[in-house]
Amino acid sequence: MRSILPVLTVIAAICGIWYLAAVRMNATWVYDQAAREGREVMLVDLVAETLTQERPVLPAPHQVVKGLWDGVAGQKITSKRSLVYHGWVTLSATLLGFAMGSVAGILLAVGIVYNRAMDLSVMPWAIASQTIPILAIAPMIIVVLNSLGVTGILPKAIISAYLSFFPVVVGMVKGLRSPDAMQLDLLRTYSATGAQTFGKLRLPSSMPYLFASLKVGVAASLVGTIVGELPTGAVAGLGSRLLSGSYYGQTVQIWAALFAAAAVAAGLVGLIGWIERATLKRMGMVR
């Protein structure tokens, strides 16, 4: 209960600043409008008019909340205007991409730890892959895959996997290498095989590292999916809501989609955090 007060204070402060910014940024339009009609603008009018515009430069918090509410609860969830529908489209591609990225990341990490050639060759490529702006190659991936007849959820999931494998590789390599020389020597004194060393020491030791990087990876996955939804003129998904919102100047729609994406991300990270706690607790690693 005591931690809720600071949280509320921060939220209140952010809302306050946001309202001020909304008044300031939307004022130009109000003044232009008033000048055209040849009337004076009182402060009260200014506040009232800046916070209720249909297409504000910066929507006020209550407008975003209303947009979110309409999107989530105001529609049938099968409707093209439902955020639940679009959220699910994005979420399903994110989950598929995250699963592919995580599996690829873990396999690459095992290869890097056990194979010297891979150790020397894979990491530079993995790093290079992440320095390429995703916005630049996402359209190419989609176009190439489309021409190969791969359409639907898969191209988006591949872009999502492309962003999420990297933190998993980095974290997992570190985790698999975390046992110290003494722990490895102990297993040597038992003449343990490579597979036993992996299963009984390296893999369990890597769990805390794996979960930390899965949390980063799942957020990256979501970003990847949304980026994958932008260039195709996709008709569904949170990315398409962002895109169509910006076409038609529907800023409330953009902000509502952004907050929906943030909520999905928070939910995914929270879910992994929960699995992490449950797993580490079962392993006896949480006190």
Question: Smallest distance from the beta carbon of 281 to another protein, in angstroms?
Answer: 11
**Residue 195 touches another protein, criterion: CB under 8 A:** no
Select from 153, 172, 164 the least CA-distant residue to 222.
164
Select from 225, 220, 232 the least CA-distant residue to 139.
232
**Residue 3 touches another protein, criterion: CB under 8 A:** no
Residue nearer to another protein on the CB measure, 78 or 189? 189
Instruction: Specify whether the CB–CB gap between 109 and 169 falls below 8 A.
Output: yes
Instruction: Specify whether the CB–CB gap between 166 and 104 falls below 8 A.
Output: no
Residue nearer to another protein on the CB measure, 202 or 215? 202
User: How many residues in the chain?
Assistant: 287
**Interacting span for another protein (CB under 8 A) from 8-16, 27-35, 158-166, 193-201:** 193-201
Question: Smallest distance from the beta carbon of 167 to another protein, in angstroms?
Answer: 23
Select from 173, 172, 180 the least CA-distant residue to 211.
172
Question: Smallest distance from the beta carbon of 183 to another protein, in angstroms?
Answer: 6
Question: Smallest distance from the beta carbon of 194 to another protein, in angstroms?
Answer: 12
What is the C-alpha to C-alpha distance for residues 278 and 287, in angstroms, rounded to an integer? 12
Question: Smallest distance from the beta carbon of 208 to another protein, in angstroms?
Answer: 10
**Residue 196 touches another protein, criterion: CB under 8 A:** yes
**Residue 190 touches another protein, criterion: CB under 8 A:** yes
**Interacting span for another protein (CB under 8 A) from 20-28, 105-113, 184-192, 237-245:** 184-192
**Residue 127 touches another protein, criterion: CB under 8 A:** no
Q: Which of 88, 204, 212, 216 binds another protein (CB under 8 A)?
A: 204
Select from 120, 103, 162, 121 the least CA-distant residue to 138.
162
What is the C-alpha to C-alpha distance for residues 236 and 230, in angstroms, rounded to an integer? 10
Question: Smallest distance from the beta carbon of 113 to another protein, in angstroms?
Answer: 19
Instruction: Specify whether the CB–CB gap between 242 and 258 falls below 8 A.
Output: yes
**Residue 192 touches another protein, criterion: CB under 8 A:** yes
Question: Smallest distance from the beta carbon of 187 to another protein, in angstroms?
Answer: 7
**Interacting span for another protein (CB under 8 A) from 123-131, 199-207, 211-219, 264-272:** 199-207
Return the residues of window 15-34 that contact another protein according to CB under 8 A: none
Which tokens go with 112?
């890097």
SS3 per residue for 191-235: CCCHHHHHHHHHHHHHHHHHHHHHHHHHHHHHHHHHHHHCCCCCC
Select from 190, 61, 153, 95 the least CA-distant residue to 145.
153
Question: Smallest distance from the beta carbon of 168 to another protein, in angstroms?
Answer: 21
Residue nearer to another protein on the CB measure, 35 or 285? 285
**Residue 271 touches another protein, criterion: CB under 8 A:** no
Question: Rounded to 5 degrees, what are φ and ψ at 36?
Answer: -60, -40
Return the residues of window 207-246 that contact another protein according to CB under 8 A: 207
Which tokens go with 172?
């997992």
What does the binding site for another protein look like in residue numbers (CB under 8 A)?
182-183, 185-192, 196, 200-201, 204, 207, 283-285, 287
